[in-house]
Amino acid sequence: MAQQTALSAPELVDRIVAGERRALARAISLVEADTPTGREVQAALYPRTGHAQTIGITGSAGAGKSTLVGALAREERKRGRTVGIVAVDPSSPFSHGAILGDRIRMQDLTSDGGVFLRSMASRGNLGGLSETATGVIDVMDAAGFDVVIVETVGAGQDEVEVATAAGTTVLITNPGGGDEIQSMKAGLMEVAQILVVNKADLAGSDTAVTQLKALLAIADLGAWTPPILKATAKTGEGIPELVDAIDRHQEHLHSSEHAEDERRALSRKQIVALARASLHRQALEVAHGSGALDDLVSAVAARRRDPRSAAESLLEAVKREWAASE
Amino acid sequence: MAQQTALSAPELVDRIVAGERRALARAISLVEADTPTGREVQAALYPRTGHAQTIGITGSAGAGKSTLVGALAREERKRGRTVGIVAVDPSSPFSHGAILGDRIRMQDLTSDGGVFLRSMASRGNLGGLSETATGVIDVMDAAGFDVVIVETVGAGQDEVEVATAAGTTVLITNPGGGDEIQSMKAGLMEVAQILVVNKADLAGSDTAVTQLKALLAIADLGAWTPPILKATAKTGEGIPELVDAIDRHQEHLHSSEHAEDERRALSRKQIVALARASLHRQALEVAHGSGALDDLVSAVAARRRDPRSAAESLLEAVKREWAASE
């Protein structure tokens, strides 16, 4: 480990490209910690990205995302593809919150050399989650995995951003999730390219399909109409059909006459999200350093100023500092 | 309406303070649309804030938040208090997505002069939701409501921010929501000052209470330990006890030796959230105006550059523009 720490970015890149898993794990840690070496590795690997199928799996807690990711990975392996998995959901059994039963269910995957698992903790309020998760996806892509699967909770904006960074986003719901489907944000429907009613062995799966169809009918869709599939991840039922659907969508992505536009739209979204997170971090550093924030907090706490105008004063102070250091 | 449009900020403020509801509704629209007059009204009203009890009600879709907010408002009215309600949940019956039955259930409230209802649409990706919602809460507070209740879905970061802008945040769960409770983000537990198991007439409410207790035991709590209450909002069961608990927490807020610290922490959080949203908006305007973003998008789409370094270049360009206009 001490030896690994000393590896330079170019050395790490060489080893990752050569398929060395320990170098990959190390590089991902550096990307996640957002170190200068991590950034260098990311930049050097980026031209090698674009070969993996990237798949986002999203849906609310309890929808069975982790089990479905496991089933999906097994089916991809059957088809001879290598699989990288990034779990962004803090409650995922792939993450810290793992309960024993889940770990055991996943054991065949973790011992398969063709599968690489990585969990990421949620980052709190700095919005750094999508920033680092897309970096980790890119590194796995460049490392040569045929498929990179990202599992997120489809709740926060961060998580939705992560999911949409994938080429194909799969939204998981359940039978009896009628209330949830009704209140589903239209935006979430519109980021998904495939809809799956998981736990389809339970009563009400046809109703769920009907509800999803109704929602799709009013959604603002492009050239691709999301298929609605039924699956039972626990038994593997419906999983080959899901992989077929993913393959069809990936083919659509690359063959579509709008492929170039979609690629530009994704790049734009990524650049803006990364710039936003970085800008916020930099501004906070300046604000804390200058003491301007403390003064404004006192004024607002005493109700001498409103938070809105205090925020604007803070921004002016930050921009003045930036201008002075140009 | 034409006459109202012409009202200046000071005129609006006078009328709001005098209790004129039409002026209040107008001012809220201006705050929501983020107009200069809206900002002026907000700034002028801010010294008058701090008298209302502000209560955030959060929890997942289908937990019964809207019914509980209705029941809570009725109980507060019984106690002689006036109530302002802000619904930020797009699926709330107080919002656009209202279904007829819900509207009818709420009719006694909407026809009560001591209750003022306002729904807000979710704002998409700009993070403007918490920005405007806290402004609307402040305006209602300054308008003299004894209680201001904010209803949000406890899912995204935005919604959590809105909920925590309230003095007392109440987190709603249900019996049988075991999966959900297990996977509940620790952060969400820690922002709540009162936990309510709603629909307590259903089987499993004691289990839910036990699970919440277990989660609380490992949460990072301050001087206040959140009580866990059972309620059945539909029948009103448990609602007086909830109002009592809210009153106790509000008393704690104001009498605690840490009251000043908590007030500063809240002010800091509000200023930073507002500055962040505004900074992002301003940066996007500059980035789009300069054409720098388009060039970077092309480079990333062609994989000549990685998104990360492109984002940094974009920020440098934006900061240069800001410096030039200083």
Helix ranges restricted to H, chain A: 2-5, 9-17, 21-32, 36-45, 65-78, 100-110, 128-142, 157-164, 178-183, 186-191, 205-218, 239-255, 259-290, 292-301, 307-324
**Alpha carbon distance A99, A95 (integer Å):** 10
Residue B293 lies in a domain: yes
The CA-to-CA distance between both ends of chain B, in Å, stands at 40
Mean pLDDT, chain A, integer: 81
Tens digits of per-residue pLDDT, A102-118? Answer: 445 566 777 778 899 88
Residue A1 has pLDDT above 50, yes or no: no
Question: Rounded to a whole number, what is the distance in Å from the CA of B30 to chain A's nearest CA?
Answer: 14
The total number of structural domains that make up chain B: 3
Residue A125 has pLDDT above 80, yes or no: no
- pLDDT in the model for residue A267: 86
- Rounded-to-10 torsion of CA B30, B31, B36, B37: 60
Residue with token string 């009202």: B7
- pLDDT in the model for residue B124: 41
Considering only CA atoms, which of B126, B71, B66, B68 is closest in space to residue B97? Answer: B66
**A61 and A40 co-located in one domain:** no
Compute the average pLDDT of residues A112-127. 67
**B37 and B154 co-located in one domain:** no
**B303 and B236 co-located in one domain:** no
A279 contacts in B (CB within 8 Å)?
A: 279-280, 283, 315, 318
Helix ranges restricted to H, B192-306: 205-218, 239-255, 259-290, 292-301
**A246 and A277 co-located in one domain:** no
**A22 and A61 co-located in one domain:** no
- pLDDT in the model for residue A163: 62
- pLDDT in the model for residue B100: 38
Query: Which chain A residue shows the shortest CA-CA distance from B312?
Result: A275
- pLDDT in the model for residue B83: 95
Assign A249 to helix, strand or coil: helix
- pLDDT in the model for residue B31: 87
Residue A54 lies in a domain: yes
**B69 and B172 co-located in one domain:** yes
Of B155, B312, B323, the CB nearest to A322: B323
Residue A274 lies in a domain: yes
A298, two tokens: 């006192």
**Alpha carbon distance B236, A270 (integer Å):** 48
**Alpha carbon distance A157, B138 (integer Å):** 25
**Alpha carbon distance B100, B152 (integer Å):** 20
Task: Out of B224, B256, B288, pick the residue that ends a domain.
Answer: B256
Give the lowest-confidence range in A216-230, A248-262, B171-185, B220-234. B171-185
**Alpha carbon distance B16, B219 (integer Å):** 42
- pLDDT in the model for residue B35: 85
Of A50, A155, A271, the CB nearest to B296: A271
Task: Out of A26, A48, A70, pick the residue that ends a domain.
Answer: A48
Select the more confidently predicted residue: B133 or A98: B133
- pLDDT in the model for residue A149: 93
CA distances from A161 to A119, A235, B233 (A): 17, 30, 35
- pLDDT in the model for residue B103: 47
* Order of all β-strands in the sheet with B83-87: B115-119, B83-87, B147-153, B53-59, B168-173, B194-197, B228-230
**Alpha carbon distance B50, B73 (integer Å):** 19
Residue A96 has pLDDT above 60, yes or no: no
Tens digits of per-residue pLDDT, A156-177? Answer: 555 556 666 788 989 888 887 6
**B32 and B89 co-located in one domain:** no
Residue B207 has pLDDT above 90, yes or no: no
- DSSP state at residue A232: B
- pLDDT in the model for residue B140: 95
Which range of A34-43, A234-243, B24-33 scores highest in mean pLDDT? It is: A234-243
Tens digits of per-residue pLDDT, B162-194? Answer: 666 788 989 888 887 655 565 555 556 667 889
Phi, psi of B234 (to 5 degrees): -60, -40
**Do residue A268 and residue B187 have CB atoms under 8 angstroms apart?**
no
Compute the average pLDDT of residues B226-231. 95
Predicted confidence band of residue B73 (pLDDT cuts 50, 70, 90): very high
The CA angle A80-A83-A85, to the nearest 5 degrees, is 160
Q: Which amino acid is at B148?
A: V
A320 contacts in B (CB within 8 Å)?
A: 326
**Do residue B319 and residue A326 have CB atoms under 8 angstroms apart?**
yes
**Alpha carbon distance A261, A263 (integer Å):** 5
Residue B126 has pLDDT above 50, yes or no: no
Tens digits of per-residue pLDDT, B79-124? Answer: 999 999 988 755 444 444 333 344 455 667 777 788 998 877 654 4
**B196 and B244 co-located in one domain:** yes
Residue B69 lies in a domain: yes
Select the more confidently predicted residue: A280 or A1: A280
Residue B263 lies in a domain: no
A153 contacts in B (CB within 8 Å)?
A: 183
**Do residue A303 and residue B47 have CB atoms under 8 angstroms apart?**
yes
**B193 and B113 co-located in one domain:** yes
Contact between B154 and B198 under an 8 Å Cβ cutoff? The reply is: no
Residue A140 lies in a domain: yes
Give the lowest-confidence range in A109-113, A232-236, A245-249. A109-113
- pLDDT in the model for residue A156: 53
Of A124, A280, A326, the CB nearest to B323: A326
Tens digits of per-residue pLDDT, B241-252? Answer: 999 999 999 998
Counting beta carbons within 10 angstroms of the beta carbon of residue A222, is it exposed (0 to 12), middle (13 to 18) or buried (19 or more)?
exposed
- pLDDT in the model for residue B75: 96
Residue A261 lies in a domain: no
Mean pLDDT, chain B, integer: 81
CA distances from A23 to A136, A144, B41 (A): 13, 13, 57
Residue B208 has pLDDT above 90, yes or no: no
Largest CA distance in chain A: 66
Of B127, B308, B322, the CB nearest to A319: B322
Q: What is the DSSP string of A154-204?
A: SSSHHHHHHHHTSSEEEEEE-TT-HHHHHH--HHHHHH-SEEEE-STTSTT
**B92 and B171 co-located in one domain:** yes
**Alpha carbon distance A159, B170 (integer Å):** 24
Domain that holds residue B302: 269-324
**pTM for the whole thing?**
0.67
Task: Out of B208, B229, B256, pick the residue that ends a domain.
Answer: B256
- pLDDT in the model for residue B176: 72
Tens digits of per-residue pLDDT, A49-74? Answer: 989 999 988 887 778 888 899 999 99
**A85 and A211 co-located in one domain:** yes
**Do residue A124 and residue B297 have CB atoms under 8 angstroms apart?**
no
Question: Rounded to a whole number, what is the distance in Å from the CA of A59 to chain B's nearest CA?
Answer: 12
**A151 and A32 co-located in one domain:** no
**Alpha carbon distance B27, B254 (integer Å):** 29
Give the lowest-confidence range in A78-87, A145-154, B99-108, B297-306. B99-108
Bridge pairing between strands B147-153 and B115-119: unpaired
Residue A188 has pLDDT above 50, yes or no: yes
